[in-house]
Amino acid sequence: MRVPMIAGNWKMNTTVSEAVGLVSEMRPELDAIDNVDKVICPPFISLAAVRELIKGSSIKLGAQNIYFEDKGAYTGEISPLMLADLCEFVIIGHSERRQYFNESGEIINRKVQAALRVGLKPILCIGERLEENEAGRTEEVVTEQLRSSLANIDYLTDLVIAYEPVWAIGTGKAATGKQANETIGFIRQIISEKYGKRIAQDLRILYGGSVTADNAAEFISQPEIDGALVGGASLNANEFLSIIRQTAEIKRRLSV
């Protein structure tokens, strides 16, 4: 059985004190929910403070980005070694990084390798743009993204994939559960062809894109979908808690 995961991607939101406030508000209830990996990904500058706050709890911490060199003259960047001390997960290849910061498949691949090298668990994001979806190219696009970002990587145990159709991110226009399940099943198939059935069956693949407390159940109840990467709704304590509670409940029901 794959342990379901809900990760909150706060993006470029919250000051340090707001981050501390939001985590303090959610901590007791989040901590109490079992059988789901609960991951919070605040901005870099809040990682240390949030880490202190969640010490001793079952809440996990992730960063939103990483650079691939360990140290050196790379003004403004954050290295794998710096993050390895602070958190367990790191989001890599988010479509906003691909789109606004020109991250190519090759750069994303170097970042995944750098994260794994220091023991960080990548949450690798892939997904097609609207025009690619409309042209019926979804499978081709995710296949290419998997090929480039996983080049030379033969160890997937610590990796999580998030399938996020770009047209569904921050738009309020989520995919349907059925669509997302189909594409995620396809992604698992590609992984199976490259890494074998066993690894593909153990790999967690999340859906992301306009997940809310109202539509989460539609995704979570699909057999191929192991959880969600949540943007906007993760900034609201009640919404985020509701998504996680529903996940625990639905996956528990499906496993018996």
Would you please indicate which residues are annotated as catalytic (active-site) residues? 94, 164
CA distance 235 to 188: 30
- C-beta closer to ligand PGA: residue 32 or 165: 165
Give yes or no for residue 65 binding ligand PGA (CB under 6 A): no
- C-beta closer to ligand PGA: residue 108 or 211: 211
- Phi then psi for residue 241, to 5 deg, are -60, -40
Residues 163-222 that bind ligand PGA (CB under 6 A): 164, 169-170, 208-211
Contact flags string 9-48 toward ligand PGA, x per CB under 6 A: x---------------------------------------
176-185: list long-range contacts, CB under 8 Å, 24+ apart: 176/218, 177/218, 177/219, 177/221, 177/222, 177/225, 178/222, 180/207, 180/219, 180/222, 180/225, 181/222, 181/223, 181/224, 181/225, 183/138, 183/139, 183/142, 184/222, 184/224, 184/225, 185/224
- C-beta closer to ligand PGA: residue 9 or 149: 9
Segment near ligand PGA (CB under 6 A); pick from 18-26, 196-204, 228-236, 242-250? 228-236
- C-beta closer to ligand PGA: residue 119 or 170: 170
Q: Which residues pair with residue 228 across a beta bridge?
A: 6, 207
Nearest-CB residue for ligand PGA:
231
Q: Tell me, what DSSP letter sits at residue 213?
A: T
Residues 131-170 that bind ligand PGA (CB under 6 A): 164, 169-170
* Closest separation in Å from C-beta 113 to ligand PGA: 22
- Phi then psi for residue 64, to 5 deg, are -100, -5
Q: E-strand spans in 17-58?
A: 37-41
Among 161, 175, 232, 246, binds ligand PGA (CB under 6 A): 232
What type of residue sits at position 220? I
Q: Where do contacts with ligand PGA occur on this chain (CB under 6 A)?
A: 9, 164, 169-170, 208-211, 229-233
